[in-house]
Amino acid sequence: MPGPRKYKPPQSDEPSPVQFGVLPTNRPIAVYYRQSTMGQVGNISTDMQQIDLPRYVMSLGWQQDLIIPIDEDEGVSGTKTIDERIGMSRLFDLIITRKIGAVAVQAEDRLFRDETQIQVNVFIDACVKNDIRVLTPYFKYNFADKHEGPYHRLLFRMRAEQAADFLNSYIRGRLHAARERMLIQGMWMGGPINLGFMVDDRKILPGGTPNPNWRKFQPFPPCAEVVVRIFETFIMLGGNRSATQRYLLENGPHFPDLDDPELMRQVPPGFYWKKPVRMLKRRGIYTVGSVALPNMLTNAVYLGHWVFKDQVVQWNNHPPIVTEDLFYQAFNYLSPYNLDGTPNEDHTPRLSYKHSTKKKKRDAYEPIYLGLVGSYYNGQWRNATAVWSTSSRAYAYAVNYRDDADIYQHLWSRRCDYFDKIINEMLFTKLQATFEPEVWNDVLGNATDDFHKERRMLQHQLQTVEQKMASLLDNFSYVQSQTLAQALERQFSEHEQEKVRLERKLNDLQQRIDQQESLIELAQKIDNVLQKWQKLGVLEKRGVAQMFIEQIVVTQAEKYRVADVKILWKDESADEFVLPWSAERWTLWLPAEVETLRQLLENNATQVEMAEALPDRNWRAIRIKIYEIIGKRSFYISPKPVRDEERYADYIARMERTGWNPPRHSGSRWIEEEIQQLDELLDKGATQLELCAALPHRSWAKIRRKITQLRGKEFKVTKPPVRMGKHDTIKDYLERHPELGAVAMNSSVSENCPRH
């Protein structure tokens, strides 16, 4: 008789697979959306994928908070590999990390249109290993099922192969071939219509006969007349493109308003016209830009010929807009080749300086903050580029923009070595002062997350490809048919190429990881960054900068040719400073110094206190910075013992040499507080000695002159028994007559007011 049944414990902690036919509605589901081109965005397929598909998923039992939409592949071809698509890469990472239980897609071709089927097999393998369901409105795939899995995998491969075959055989083989055949015959088959033309869309003429000009260009008078004038203007200005653009913008002729519905009413019945997609308004008018102008002046379509793939395939295909003489006058200025591709012996270009296309190796300072520096112009961000200055033999950051005539204009430029030196100081100060360990860990940790995700995805793909290659090698030993052997060999070659591609991407990724890890190791020790900064290469310095700086915004100011610079840090803080045009003898004001000076001004600090608080600045630099802070050049302070070119240490050294004797004559500027104090003392009937004691840095002559300005020449002040010198201060007077000090200070008051 058998004994009691013995049960086995679970073999692993992994969740048990979902039973066949039971959907994992308790786990998140990814809803994948893709359109091949941006032109398809917004069509019926978009609504089906973004509206109907999530509703279908919810009808199967998923809650709204468990649905993860993936829509980054808008306008991305399905022929691209997994790692070449942002949305598919994100989806694949969710699969291999088991963060989802299913994938919903409108159709199999939304996932792949891979002719080699390599990406399809990689996707299926990931779903099998991680027990991921793939759902469409028409079928529910369970690749990992023990019984139905092989059939589901076969069915998915078959439909993915059909999607690739449709792209190759029908789209490329039939539709594209038919379209190219008609284009070669000189017929318009959709797409842009050259300015000045419309399309004759009458297949049958009113008399019932076939139209020989069906789908061919015909001049559109409202625009054709402008095209002729553009050719004439270009010839009139001697083939100068920039001058032509400026003249057309200022004086015309201008194209009619292409958005005006009245213009469409001028299109005859049976003809088709549409506005060029890339035609933009400049100053509220339509005119050609720097790219469209030379293209128009060298385009054989305006001479009546038809061009396909940069080759004239139909001569005299449609009525011309410009005469042959006018066309070739403009054409010979611009094109070194004739319309048949032979050299143009009549080519007479305008003389201009030609830059060498050969990359020159220059022994000069290379910019560190390239890619971070830029400016906003008309609301658009414009990155600074590094340009070589032949005059200074150095690189410079430069920001340019296109004006209304589509001509490049210069916004600002600064030498890279000078600019970077200032930003380096800001970076060092930031690293030393404000980055807490927690902030460092966040910044440095986030820098490695994307690397790990990309490596995980590439390694999984490489492993699947290698397994498939091993399987193909095993199959070779059983194949006797030459045709089948060739097919297997072709598949093996395709997988081998994919393996090389993935290994190359992994090697590149590993190099970036190694570089990042070295930067992280270096950056975690702030002192090492500062000490080894000069020994780091340009790329390593750029890496450190990009880890902590989000953006460097430069705003050019008209006055004094200075620029306002704002550094946006990755910890969401910001620093601002003023960048002058040149600073060979100028030192950057750090934000902390500016704040210190601002507080001193608010507290009415003396000149000596300001100089002591900013020991590295001479008084002239402090005074100019005060002008910037208060917004005007009318700052007065008294007393002013520190000279313009003196720092605090220089002032102390001078005072020690002179025995701490102040200068006999101080400046003549009176501040508002002094005037108010003097006025109050005069109202109280203060004596001469009392006035001089209240204003110890001023001589009696200066005080008397100010009293005359305030009260007039007739105003009298009581004087001491012993006469005071005209240029004496109170200190000078008491040094000569110390015995009279107490008596003098208690002498009679002014005759101009009652006694105390």
Q: Is the domain covering 197-334 a CATH 3.90.1750.20 domain?
A: yes
Helix (H) or strand (E) holding 401: strand 394-402
133, containing H or E segment: strand 133-135
Mean residue pLDDT across the chain? 80
pLDDT on residue 733: 85
Instruction: Please write the tens of the pLDDT for every residue from 523-553.
Output: 555 666 677 777 888 888 887 888 778 899 9
Q: Yes or no: say if 419 and 258 are a contact pair by the CB < 8 Å rule.
A: no
On whether the CB atoms of residues 143 and 152 are closer than 8 A, the answer is yes
Residue 506 above 60 pLDDT? yes
Query: By the 8 A CB rule, do 144 and 150 touch?
Result: no
Strand, coil or helix: what is 620? Answer: helix
Q: Which of 4-13, 81-90, 738-747 holds the top average pLDDT?
A: 81-90
- Could you report how far apart the first and last alpha carbons of the chain are, in Å? 131
CB 462 within 8 A of CB 499: yes
Instruction: Give per-residue pLDDT as tens, 416-456.
Output: 888 888 888 888 877 776 555 555 556 556 656 677 778 88
All structural domains of the chain with their residue ranges: 29-171, 197-334, 366-579, 591-657, 672-745
DSSP one-letter string for 21-60: T---TTS-EEEEEEESSGGGTTSHHHHIIIIIHHHHHHHT
CA 651 to chain CA mean position, Å: 48
By C-alpha distance, which of 640, 420, 406, 440 is closest to 542? 420
CATH architecture of 29-171: 3-Layer(aba) Sandwich (3.40)
pLDDT of residue 421: 84
Tell me: the pLDDT tens digits for 659-694?
A: 776 554 445 667 777 788 888 888 888 888 888 888
**Separation between Cα atoms, residue 545 and residue 38, nearest integer Å:** 35
- Do 289 and 198 meet the contact criterion of CB atoms below 8 Å apart? no
Structure tokens at 443: 């910044």
User: Average pLDDT for residues 278-288, to the nearest whole number?
Assistant: 77
CA-based max dimension of the chain: 140
pLDDT at 519: 59
